[in-house]
């Protein structure tokens, strides 16, 4: 076959690219862009323009000789078995050779010739690398074509060494072809303008939407204003990572530059990370913080993700699509495409999800608008100034409200500076807190005087499961939910409870009161006769006491009750005495169908007053037979 004609090589290249994908997939390696060799920083403005050495031309053996001296100096005989013709390699050129009689050393001589051809193919690979460094991509591809055409004719004669070399060369050629195809946009346009500003009907439709539709235009303007808060930091980090600055506008499409934006897919933050992807790129999440909400940490994670996607896909349009809908979805679409998909993202356009199909045109439309804002009537809009703040390391659990009060600022401003704090409470471990400029030293001076935040203690009642019980009936009986009971007891299945099992029942809106050592339950008890459906938990709520106090007053070792049992309720006589001491109050026994509002209205009281004198809240439940104070 020799070096082959131009037409043969052009036909061969799509097959080579397909083979490259197969070889790399079987080897399990990612498409290398930066790990193997750096792409050139400058290049011709067009692949079809003239190169550094004049008009683009086909790679010849003269190019090879200029860069690397010939490897073989003696004629090498190669047999084309498919056509039963013989060729002789002389200094890299091929010509027909006279027939040669086979002899005892013919097999060894053939192996030597095969080795020489493999060496020549390796030289072509090096020539291709040199052309790529100069930015001559077509010549680099042609050199790889020549190398591949050489190894196709090599017979390894079952020699393990030759077989390994041939496979290594095939793998190297496959990798180089993918590197060159994937780096086309970068080589042509330069590092910081690697995103091509395509203009087609899809992009134009999004430009019209942003500039004429009232809702879309309002969103665009508001997002553009907010961009000033975070974009300077994003641009700085993109430059340090060697990525295009244009990617700093990606949050405008993702979240409108809102740090607390939440999508229907539960993606959160400026860069819209779902929890699993955020965790993959180092964004922590616990009961106090969610780093997806932090503009700085999420920016670093997004840059790492974009770099990984670019190593997989190579061109930025496909990278953006994968960022939106996931690399797995894009790879599945690519498998059904022409092997030259890297040349044209729009081949994928109609097969992507609708949201993703619009995502890339919207981003490119944004770049067009911001490149010439005057043309679209947005030149008078000024972004907000960048966020400025001081940092203070705090190792105590404090509430932002108390911190704001101590340094003379508002809680809302502290929340805006520290969006990753989920409940406005600092975690127990060391935390780098952002405060308004000039407030750092003041906070350090007052840090010890700020009260430490005490986290509410969950209060539980205990219930022993009886035959016929289910979590739903238990939850309904105790005025809670199945989910709350499952979480309190670490249950994985809601249909698996056993008779005799003790469950913790969370009490809604209550806290376990602190009981100091040596303190005893209140004396002067009242009495309660246990009825069907009663439990220590709802009896304690009814009388405004706790399960532990009732157990202590009645010497109960468990929470098990029986119908007709008489319980002493601590503190009730004292409460009744206090109530009877008030001249304006009398006792009312709750009847079936009563509610706090009805009782208050019937006795010419406001609901707030009725709740206050009975130590109730708006969430409290009253029961038939319960004694309450009224006017």
Q: Are strands 502-506 and 390-394 parallel, antiparallel or unpaired?
A: unpaired
Count CB-CB contacts under 10 A for residue 111: 16
Q: Measure the CA–CA gap between 339 and 20, rounded to whole angstroms.
A: 10
Q: Measure the CA–CA gap between 606 and 92, rounded to whole angstroms.
A: 104
Does residue 421 contact residue 288 with C-beta atoms inside 8 Å? yes
Does residue 618 contact residue 575 with C-beta atoms inside 8 Å? no
Sort 540 into a burial class: Cβ within 10 Å, 0-12 / 13-18 / 19+: buried
Tell me the H-state helices in 314-399.
316-325, 327-335, 354-371
Does residue 288 contact residue 422 with C-beta atoms inside 8 Å? yes
Q: Measure the CA–CA gap between 233 and 295, rounded to whole angstroms.
A: 9
Dihedral sign, Cα of residue 415, residue 421, residue 426, residue 430:
negative
Count CB-CB contacts under 10 A for residue 161: 11
Q: Which residue has the tokens 């190792």?
A: 395
Count CB-CB contacts under 10 A for residue 388: 10
Closest CA to 386 of 233, 496, 274: 233
Q: Measure the CA–CA gap between 620 and 631, rounded to whole angstroms.
A: 20
Which of the residues 120, 179, 246, 254 is marked catalytic?
Answer: 254
Q: Measure the CA–CA gap between 316 and 581, rounded to whole angstroms.
A: 80
Q: Is 430 labeled as catalytic in the residue annotation?
A: no
Q: Measure the CA–CA gap between 432 and 446, rounded to whole angstroms.
A: 16
The residues annotated as belonging to the active site are 254
């Amino acid at each position: 076959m020799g070096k082959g004609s131009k037409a043969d090589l052009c036909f061969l290249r799509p097959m080579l690219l397909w083979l490259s994908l197969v070889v790399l997939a079987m080897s399990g390696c990612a498409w290398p862009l930066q790990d193997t060799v750096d792409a050139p920083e400058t290049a011709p403005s067009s692949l079809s323009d003239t190169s550094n050495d004049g008009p683009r031309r086909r790679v010849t053996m003269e190019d090879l000789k200029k860069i690397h001296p010939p490897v073989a100096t003696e004629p090498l005989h190669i047999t084309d078995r498919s056509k039963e013709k013989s060729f002789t390699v002389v200094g890299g050129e091929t010509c027909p050779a006279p027939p040669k009689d086979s002899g005892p050393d013919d097999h060894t001589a053939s192996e030597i010739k095969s080795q020489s051809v493999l060496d020549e193919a390796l030289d072509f690979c090096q020539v291709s690398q040199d052309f790529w460094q100069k930015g001559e991509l077509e010549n680099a591809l042609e050199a790889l074509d020549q190398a591949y055409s050489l190894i196709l004719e090599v017979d390894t004669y079952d020699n393990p060494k030759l077989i390994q070399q041939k496979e290594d060369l095939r793998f190297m050629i496959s990798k180089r072809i993918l590197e060159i195809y994937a780096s086309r946009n970068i080589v042509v346009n330069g590092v910081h303008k690697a995103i091509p500003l395509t203009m087609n009907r899809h992009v134009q439709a999004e430009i019209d939407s942003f500039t004429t539709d009232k809702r879309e235009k309002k969103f665009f303007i508001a997002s553009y204003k907010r961009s000033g808060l975070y974009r300077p930091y994003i641009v700085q980090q993109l430059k340090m990572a060697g990525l295009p600055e244009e990617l700093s506008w990606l949050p405008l499409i993702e979240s409108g530059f809102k740090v607390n934006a939440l999508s229907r897919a539960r993606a959160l933050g400026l860069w819209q990370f779902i929890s699993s992807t955020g965790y993959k790129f180092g964004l922590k999440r616990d009961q106090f913080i969610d780093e997806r909400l932090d503009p700085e940490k999420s920016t670093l994670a997004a840059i790492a993700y974009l770099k990984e996607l670019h190593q997989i896909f190579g061109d930025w349009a496909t990278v953006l699509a994968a960022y939106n809908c996931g690399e797995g979805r894009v790879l599945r679409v690519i498998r059904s495409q022409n092997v030259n998909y890297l040349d044209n993202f729009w081949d994928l356009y109609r097969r992507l999800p609708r949201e993703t199909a619009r995502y890339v045109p919207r981003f490119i439309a944004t770049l067009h608008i911001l490149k010439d804002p005057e043309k679209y009537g947005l030149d008078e809009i000024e972004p907000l100034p960048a966020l400025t703040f001081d940092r203070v390391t705090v190792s105590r659990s404090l509430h932002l409200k108390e911190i704001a009060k101590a340094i003379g600022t508002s809680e809302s401003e502290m929340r805006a500076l520290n969006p990753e704090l989920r409940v406005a409470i600092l975690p127990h471990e060391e935390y780098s807190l952002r405060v308004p400029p000039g407030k750092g030293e003041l906070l350090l001076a007052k840090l010890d005087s700020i009260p430490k935040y005490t986290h509410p203690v969950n209060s539980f009642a205990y219930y022993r499961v009886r035959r016929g019980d289910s979590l739903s009936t238990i939850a309904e009986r105790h005025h809670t939910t199945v989910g709350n009971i499952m979480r309190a007891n670490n249950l994985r299945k809601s249909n698996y409870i056993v008779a005799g099992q003790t469950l913790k029942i969370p009490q809604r809106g209550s806290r376990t009161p602190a009981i100091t050592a040596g303190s005893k339950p209140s004396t002067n008890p009242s009495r309660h006769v246990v009825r069907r459906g009663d439990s220590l938990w709802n009896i304690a709520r009814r009388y405004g006491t706790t399960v532990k106090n009732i157990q202590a007053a009645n010497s109960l070792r468990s929470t098990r009750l029986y119908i007709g049992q008489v319980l002493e309720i601590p503190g009730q006589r004292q409460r009744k005495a206090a109530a009877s001491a008030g001249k304006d109050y009398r006792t009312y026994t709750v009847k079936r169908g009563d509610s706090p509002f009805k009782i208050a209205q019937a006795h010419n009281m406001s609901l707030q007053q009725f709740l206050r004198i009975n130590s109730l809240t708006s969430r409290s439940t009253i029961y038939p037979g319960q004694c309450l104070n009224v006017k």
